A and B are shown apart, each in its own frame.
Chain A
Amino acid sequence: MGATGTNTETFVELIRRASTELPADVAEALEEGRKGEEDGGLAGIALNTILENVKLARDISAPICQDTGTPVVWIHHPVGVSTRALKTEFETAVREATKRKFLRPNAVNTLTGSNTGDGAGRGIPFVHFEEWDEPRIEVRMILKGGGSENVGTQYKLPDTKLGAGRDLEGVRRAVLDAVFQGQGKGCAPGVLGVCVGGDRVSAFEHSKRQLLRPLKDTNPVPELAELEDRLLREGNELGIGPMGFGGKTTLLGVKIGVLDRLPACYFVTVTYMCWADRKAGVSIDERGEVTWLS
């Protein structure tokens, strides 16, 4: 792994990649959506603009979206690594990336309303650490925009109005309602990260972690795999479309994870990720060698 103080530049590059280069799986899903929409309709125009924007951002290495979001980061590390040092390095990288315009100064003092000006603040970036047996450090990050974050929501089941009980059919009903409530406001077509179970702390984190999964992967739990496919299909049938203009492309993916719960609680937690589904990863081995992850 890189010695303390040597990872900052790698983290800046990680942020640059996330902010300016949309992952291939997301770009492909947008292309597929484009093919399904009528030429000249608002949905088609919106997707054309999005695809043009994705290319332009990559070509000139500038942010895909001006809301460069909250960096939400998961770091796996070997025994004996200082997580405090890694966190400091990541915060330094956020400030540097903000200076280089890969990030917008995006941290606002909630009490005074003033912007910290350098991209970092209390709780921003949000970094999770987990120790593992491997000798390398693996960093995975999403940039989570604010507009779509406002669309995220949490249901507690049972929900009488939705006819949603404490089972996967109840989960289905809650998630479909979340897609309807969100309309185009989270910059559709979006990706849903869903957590079933957990509590009000763990569930939102776990729902965001689902966004690291490739869009085309298959959930190892068969009934969840089936539910993911069904929700993707039914979510698109709602006809909300890109930007909420109406159309066939409302969702690009649905990813569901599960946590255990207390007997009294059954939460369905939905994180809405905009079409600018920015994620990036890097592995740093014990010699400091850097490998970029797709």
Chain B
Amino acid sequence: MTDTAETPRQEAQNLASPDHHLTPSGIILGGIGGLFLVAMMGLTVCDVVGRYVFNAPIKGAGELTEILLCAVIFLGLGAVSLAENHVTVDLLTDKFPDAVQPFRQALTGLLSGVILVVVAWRIWIYAGQIGGYGGSTTSLSIPIAPLGYFCAICALIGGLITAFLPLKRLYLQLSHKGQN
């Protein structure tokens, strides 16, 4: 089993040779997230140009940007989790014996997964509270609760992926050993 958890060294590697070949999940996530990012950029440009040239800024550009930002962050969590791209300190972990690595990764993955699931749970409850008093954005009156539920679901999926991938590796390694 190869160690796919991201370390600064590997991150450096990725930076040095950007991979233009995306996996199917990358194309879908990148497509949707990319659309959001381009929309954020376009909103700013139209808002500034509208303000100066047509004396008409876009109504609610700021709050649309906020919603898009939040969606990009939590959508991106899925992509980061799938690639196991989270930033870690690899000063000591590289020096652990190979036999220990799958157990170490399962442990750190489990802890990360648990905290993400707790975050998901709390955002879900928070979104419920916001929905309870009909919380919405100031000028466009977009309800905020659905965004909260979306983020909670993303965090939950991210947490499950983060815990599952290293556990699966550990399981495969153990069962492989059992066969020998």
Q: Do A and B come from one complex?
A: no
B residues at A contact (CB < 8 Å):
none
Task: Please list the residues of chain A having a beta carbon within 8 angstroms of any beta carbon in chain B.
Answer: none
